[in-house]
Each structure stands twice: as structure tokens, then as C-alpha cells.
Amino acid sequence: MVIVFEGQDAAGKGGSIHRLTAALDARQYRVHRIAAPSDEEALRPWVWRFWRRLPADGRIAIFDRSWYGRVLVERVEALARPDEWQRAFAEIRQFEQQLLEHGGVVIKLFLAISKAEQLRRFEARAATPHKRHKLTDEDWRNRERWDDYRLAIDEMFAATHPPRRRMDAGRLR
């Protein structure tokens, strides 16, 4: 099983993962917090860093951010060329299809908040000593690109969702 958490900064990904894992046997899952690729990862095809984190059969991998970063952060921040992130839409569909064909379960969660709610949460973090570390200059910089991220998010949903299949007489088509 693969559980993917994506969403805007301060949308609650980390807290949601914490609440979910509190109910799980720690021997059965692993949480992967995805950041910029390491030097080793940058030398390989971009999806390799996710393949290597997939769980063994019967286990769970939880991704705090994921391969969707290719068409979100890497796109908006120009860390991937347009031809790279545009090609990634099909690569993401193929990657997830391979997981499903292997018998895996893929759960994708996108936590969305409004721009006003994000500002409220940023200000609350800034005012709370034990939460200040969660707020960085990068968070504020990303917030200034809110509209660029919104466009990328909308296109991500449209371009990575596989065509709907239907059941006819008990057969998937």
C-alpha cells in the first residue's frame, strides 16, 4: 500500500500523517518525507527515488510529498524544464498503473486550504515558539507564487488522473 499526501504549505500533511500513524503498527509502515533530490538521486531518472522507497508486499509506504512534485514544485520553481515536467504527467500515470498492476493499493490525498487560511496558519506558527521552526523563508516565497501553484495543481489533477474505466457485466473496461 502506498499513501500519498500532497497539498499546500501548512495544509496539515504532517499532522495528518502523525494522526494516521498513531493508529498503525510501526513495524508495518515507513514515512518518507520528500525534499529536493540528493546528489545520488539527481544522477538517475527522476522517478527512481520513489521506486526505491516503495514498500515490500504487505507493508505500507507513506509519502509526505511525492512524485507529484515533478509537476508542482519542480515546474513552478523551474527546477525541471518544460519538456521534463510535461512528460512527467504520462510518467506519473504509468508509475501508478504499474503499482496497481502489481497488486498494490494507491491512496492519494490532497489537502487544500485557502490562501487566507494559509496566512492564518503561517502567522500562528510565527507566534508560537515551538512551531516557529516549521515556518521558513521558502514558505513565504512559495506563498507569493500562490496563483502559479494553483494553476499547476489544477493541471496536475487533470493530467495525471487516468481515464475513468467502467464495469460491464463484471469486467473492467
Mean pLDDT of the chain: 93
How do residues 15-56 score in pLDDT, each as one tens digit? 999 999 999 999 999 999 999 999 999 999 999 999 999 999
- Tell me how far apart the alpha carbons of residues 22 and 25 are, in angstroms, rounded to a whole number: 8
Q: Say how many CA atoms lie within 13 Å of 53 toward its Cβ.
A: 22
Quote the pLDDT of residue 121: 96
Q: Are 70 and 88 in contact (CB under 8 A)?
A: yes
pLDDT exceeds cutoff 90 at 11: yes
How does DSSP assign 132-144, residue by residue? GGG--HHHHHHHT
Domain boundaries, the chain: 2-161
Quote the pLDDT of residue 163: 66
How do residues 125-157 score in pLDDT, each as one tens digit? 999 999 999 899 999 999 999 999 999 999 999
For domain 2-161, the CATH class is alpha beta
Q: What CA–CA distances, in Å, run from 64 to 43, 121, 129, 137?
A: 22, 19, 24, 20
Lowest mean pLDDT among 55-59, 79-83, 152-156, 166-170: 166-170
